[in-house]
Amino acid sequence: MECMRTVGSLLAALLFGAPAAGQQRGIDVQHYDFLVALPDSGSVIQARAWIVFRRSPGADTIDLQLVDMSVDSVGHSQRSIAFTYDGRKIRVPLARGARTDTIVVSYHGVPRDGLIIGTNARGRRAIFADNWPERARYWLPTVDHPSDKATVAIDVSAPASWRVVANGVYDRRREVFRVDGRMNRPWVETRPIPTYTMVIGAGEFTVSTHRPAINGRDTVPIQVWTYPEDSAFADSVPFRRATEIVEVMQRLIGPFPYEKLAHVQSSTKFGGMENSSAIFYAEKPYVERKMGEGVVRHETSHQWFGDAVTERDWPDIWLSEGFATYFDGVIGAALDGDSVLANAMRANAENYFKSDVTDRPIVDSGYAADPIKLLNANSYPKGAWVLHMLHGTIGDSAFFRGLRAYYRTYRDSTATSEDFQRVMEKEAKADLGWFFHQWLYQPGYPQLDVTWQYDAGARKVVLGITQRQKPEWGLFGLPVLTLEFRGANGATVRRDITVTGGGRETSTRVDLPFTPAEVLVDPDGKLLLRVTAIGRR
């Protein structure tokens, strides 16, 4: 059996693996094959992992993260090999040989994180993986970093009365009913995914089938997995438009990236977790009947941005969370009207303004060692605002053309903020360095004092705009700042002006046929800014 699994893993690697920059120099994992026996009681798991990887000629060691488990053996080509294990890392020396190699790790123990074993909100035993950001290592030996994506097969041994869900598609040909009342259930994901989205869920579920999404000649099954008591609520409220949400993203960005989509009620520490093709949602909002569609839109859009196109390192996590936050509103607007996006962006702005990270930039290497700290208002609402302002800056056609090109180029791979910038500049046919520099690498946002005086003889308004934000935030260029002038008799005129980032004060004169009674700055809320004062000189 080990030999057959190793050959299958090698074949999967050759067919589906793609070179990527790994966390370890010279090592690029192509495929993981896990056999995990879940306990009927207690918390001890028994497991075996086949790791298929490519290595450069100079790579003589592979390090696999595995925390506080008991390693029984490490094998290679049907034989045991020497290794060291310090409770956090398995270090395996590599002999000279082929560029593609395979090692097998047998281990057991009680995961202290990453795999949640216990009683679910409905009082029944259930087991769920919860790997983000670097918690796969507590139950799976992996190169546990988003830069090294791989295909994965997970064969779960569990009580036959349970149902099991995981990434990819179910391989019914390999399922095994055992005489001890257990069953082996194999799932296979043929697209490379980050380790933080490699998951399993096991327990008693009701599974409902929604209308599939169509990808050209391919059909994408869409399922909702819930505890039996919560099935009717899930289908009728948060997931009633699960298919329509996928269809909006396919129309705007491109084909759904995986073989199926399962929405799973689970025991997760997060409100939702975008595991590739098997999204996990916190169980409590189901039970309390408080779960809405917004989290479904957010997590579904992650399948394109975050899962298929993954940030290469944690400081660029806005490429995942900012995108999902923005597309929550975009999808909502496509389904229910533009006011959904407008309201979402106003809420995002307020959440960012009142946050404790305005003194930090979005791309924040200072938190790279602790990715949890990057789950903040920079990565989510401000990240969404970067996309919203980019959309307004380059226009609808170039924006979506650029997003589609970005998705095509980096699908099943990883990307950086610089990669995204290059694609958008190409599609917009413009230098956007100023935009990305000030919104990704500078902290804060513009705070404007606006003064105005009407010159009746010249029929012009003389404007003075001063940037009042903290000096350490820097200055911001606003190439298109819309002002709305309202007269006492109800007349309204809009004018666009330019605020350069070259100085703290900007003065300009605007043609206006009447004396304004009121001046509004950015009346449509297209920019992330605050007006701190406005009035006549």
**Domain of residue 107, CATH code:** 2.60.40.1730
Sequence letter at residue 296: V
pLDDT, average across residues 340-356: 98
CB contact set of 324 (below 8 Å; sequence gap of 6+): 274, 298, 299, 301, 302, 305, 306
Residue with tokens 């399962």: 262
Residue 29 has pLDDT above 90, yes or no: yes
CA distance 197 to 302: 11
Q: Does residue 263 share a domain with residue 335?
A: no
Residue 93 CB neighbour total at 10 angstroms: 11
Q: Does residue 162 share a domain with residue 40?
A: yes
**Domain of residue 526, CATH code:** 2.60.40.1840
pLDDT at 216: 83
Q: Does residue 386 share a domain with residue 289?
A: no
Q: Is residue 9 very low, low, confident or very high in pLDDT (cuts 50, 70, 90)?
A: very low
Q: Does residue 389 share a domain with residue 320?
A: yes
**Domain of residue 383, CATH code:** 1.10.390.10
Sequence letter at residue 474: G
Answer whether 9's CB lies under 8 Å from 49's CB: no
CA distance 296 to 394: 29
pLDDT at 78: 66
Q: Is residue 217 very low, low, confident or very high in pLDDT (cuts 50, 70, 90)?
A: confident
Residue 431 CB neighbour total at 10 angstroms: 9
**Averaged pLDDT of the chain:** 94
Which residues does residue 125 pair with via DSSP β-bridges, in sequence order? 119
Instruction: State the pTM of this model.
Output: 0.94
Q: Where are the alpha helices (DSSP H) in 485-527?
A: none
pLDDT over 70, % of the chain: 95
Q: Does residue 325 share a domain with residue 248?
A: no
What backbone torsions phi and psi does residue 35 show, to the nearest 5 degrees? Answer: -120, 115
Answer whether 505's CB lies under 8 Å from 474's CB: no
Q: Judging by DSSP bridges, how do beta strands 200-203 and 125-129 pair with one another?
A: antiparallel
Query: How many structural domains does the chain have?
Result: 4
Q: Which of 410, 441, 472 is the last residue of a domain?
A: 441
Query: Cis link prior to 133 (omega < 30° from 0)?
Result: yes
CA distances from 78 to 1, 8, 94, 102, 192 (A): 11, 15, 15, 10, 26
Question: ∠ at Cα 384 (424, 148), nearest 5°?
Answer: 70
Answer whether 531's CB lies under 8 Å from 508's CB: no
Q: Does residue 193 share a domain with residue 211?
A: no
Q: What would the DSSP string read from start to end of 181-244?
A: SEEEEEEEEEEEE-GGG--EEEE--EEEEEEEEEETTEEEEEEEEE-GGGHHHHHHTTTTTHHH
Give per-residue burial for 186-210: e unless 16+ CB within 10 Å, then b: bbbbbbbbbbbbbbbbbbebbebeb
Of 261, 254, 342, residue with least CA distance to 296: 261
Separation of CA 217 from chain center:
27
Q: Is residue 77 very low, low, confident or very high in pLDDT (cuts 50, 70, 90)?
A: low
Q: Does residue 146 share a domain with residue 28?
A: yes
Q: Does residue 486 share a domain with residue 369?
A: no
CA distance 272 to 300: 10
pLDDT digits (tens, 9 = 90+) for 283-327: 999 999 999 999 999 999 999 999 999 999 999 999 999 999 999
Q: Does residue 179 share a domain with residue 213?
A: no
Answer whether 147's CB lies under 8 Å from 317's CB: no
Q: Is residue 5 very low, low, confident or very high in pLDDT (cuts 50, 70, 90)?
A: very low
Q: Does residue 192 share a domain with residue 61?
A: yes
CA distance 265 to 120: 10
CA distance 279 to 266: 9
pLDDT over 90, % of the chain: 88
Q: Does residue 216 share a domain with residue 186?
A: no
CA distances from 334 to 245, 251, 252, 297, 386 (A): 9, 10, 10, 11, 20
CB contact set of 11 (below 8 Å; sequence gap of 6+): none
pLDDT digits (tens, 9 = 90+) for 462-484: 999 999 999 999 999 999 999 99
Residue 458 has pLDDT above 80, yes or no: yes
Residue count of the chain? 537
**Domain of residue 239, CATH code:** 3.30.2010.30
Q: Which of 304, 337, 367 is the last residue of a domain?
A: 304
pLDDT, average across residues 425-439: 98
Answer whether 386's CB lies under 8 Å from 440's CB: yes
Residue 263 CB neighbour total at 10 angstroms: 25
Exposed, middle or buried: residue 60 (CB in 10 Å: 0-12, 13-18, 19+)? exposed
pLDDT, average across residues 344-366: 98
pLDDT digits (tens, 9 = 90+) for 52-64: 999 998 899 999 9
pLDDT, average across residues 420-428: 98
| Enclosing domain of residue 222 | 206-304
pLDDT, average across residues 227-246: 98
Element (H, E) at 407: helix 396-410
Q: Does residue 437 share a domain with residue 345?
A: yes
Q: Which of 151, 179, 203 is the last residue of a domain?
A: 203
Element (H, E) at 5: helix 2-16
DSSP for residue 471: G
